[in-house]
Structure 1
Amino acid sequence: MTVTTTLTDRYVWATLRTLPDAKRADIERELRASIEDAMEARLESGADPDEAERAVLLELGDPIRLAAQYAERPLYVIGPSMYPDWIRLLKLLLATVLPIAGLAVGTVQALIGSTIGEIIAEVVLVLLGTTMHLIFWTTLVFWIVERAGSTWQGSGWTLAQLPDLDDGKHVKLSEVIGALGFAALVAVLMIWQQNFSFFTVDGRPLPLLREENWSFWWPYVIVVLALDALVLVAVYGRRRWTYGLVATKAVTNLAFAIPAIWLLLADRVFTSAFLERLDWGTADPHTVLTVIGVLTIGISAVWDVVQNLIRARRARL
């Protein structure tokens, strides 16, 4: 009998993902064989296959603990009993608090008229400080609870905590939602900045983007980003990448990247008043923004194509 259910695959993947690549193949074979043997023993006793699988995985326990055993590394940052809860809480806090803090600080700095350089510096400082505080205080609380002689052995682990399988072949729902949300956000910000800007001149809002491009280029950008997101919707519907979908995604990437880079190089993106408003010392704002924009757009487009080709190849294996 071969165990190939999604639940078992998710458990195996959750165990292997923190192990060194060189050990994963051997450990995966050993772990799957162990699960299979344990299931066969239960099935011979008349157990239901699904229930037998769930019981075996629950007996194996938290994948974080199992991975540590395979890697022969102790979980003593906090203590074996509390470590899984500590690391999960810390990851959750970092993923939720940092984006909110960065956005809030950036918005406040922009509203008080700080330069781009000042905004970036302030955001970086706040993110570094917030990260240090989150790690320190979270660790301190767990340390105090453990050293106080608490009998608490953690919140317990259930199968519902298994992460979704990520085999590199598929598009996650979060990716689709992110792409659709990004396209919508760009459209809203492009329209918003025309009449409501962080920058003002004589009390009037200062648009960042050239108004004449609304005759074609800005609507074109919005449409292309929407089509790019819809390609991910199609991939999600197919449940895997194909070379045809990779080619379609590459076309939408190029349809955005080539005009965007050309507009940047031709100085047809930002308004002259906005560039004059930026005070970066001896650095030319147009040159700096163009270099950053071209590198970001170019690298992102190439990386996206390469990543999607890898996914399509894996889906064919």
Structure 2
Amino acid sequence: MSELVERYVHQVGRYLPNKERAEIQAELRSQIQDQLDDRYEGAPTQADVAAVLKELGDPRRMAASYGGEQYLVGPDFYPVMMMVLRRGWVIVPPVAVLVHLLAILFGNESDNLITVLLETAAGAFQATAIFTGIVVLIFAILQHSGEDLDEITGNDAGFDPLALPEVNDPAEVDRFESIFSMAFGTFAVLVMIYFLRVGGLTLQFNLGEPVDVIPVPIPWLVALIAIAIAQMVLQLTALLRGRWGVALWLVNVALDIVGAVTLYFVLWLPLADRVYAAVPALTGVPLIGRGAEAILVLSIIIAVIGGVTKLVKMVSHRYSAAPSYNVKAN
């Protein structure tokens, strides 16, 4: 019976901040155990455990109850939105800083250190603000559309503790990861549409008179936008189903591989050409002289290894999972 409790506590923990997760999960385990001991004197059946968990309610709402009065976009959506934002706040600023420094390093203009630092900080803040606005807008639209998160994730039939996924189910969809991928994908698509508008890569976001544009093959840029949109649709499909199927995961891996090839022509090759034009001596350095190709090969290897590893886990788990976890109680 303890495994059913662990599955519930694990799901609650997925919606909690990292720094509070362990403490709240321990408190929740103790609370559930006390209720079981009081009601069933230490000998509950699986149905008894399920009844207690059903009274506690959906794991997402249970997690929201530990957060206090948090109503930025509503208590149902708040935990998911904050997890997506936290991940974005960790990833977006460093990426923006790196890209901006590379643009300054290989650009045509030379500025003093203070100007470079101020522009870099401003660029990171701007990118983070845009990402935050996109995420909040997505959740605000969901909040005011009248949709319930249970309907979006396919759980509108009511909370059933016996249908909780296992703690280590490799096919389970990480809701945070999926929503983060869709939000970050939206951000990336908007940036790429701007690149399409100005005809290449640039950090000068000025539609009227963009400067220092690195030309890229437009067909490959269009293909990359299409792949990014397809990946967002795929993430949404998996989110609605609640699980990654084998076929769906294979399509995801294929898109990752094709996306890596497309990114080579849109990003890595143009940037490498700019670097080699600025520092011709680098073309004769082993590995660095083929840096774009090395990144392409590494990206494909990572996509293949990661995809195959998860696929093997999914197939193995399918045949080893206990059948009792796949059916609901009468």
Alignment TM class, shorter chain as reference: 0.3 to 0.5
TM-score (normalizing by structure 1):
0.47
The structure with more radius of gyration? 1
TM-score (normalizing by structure 2):
0.45
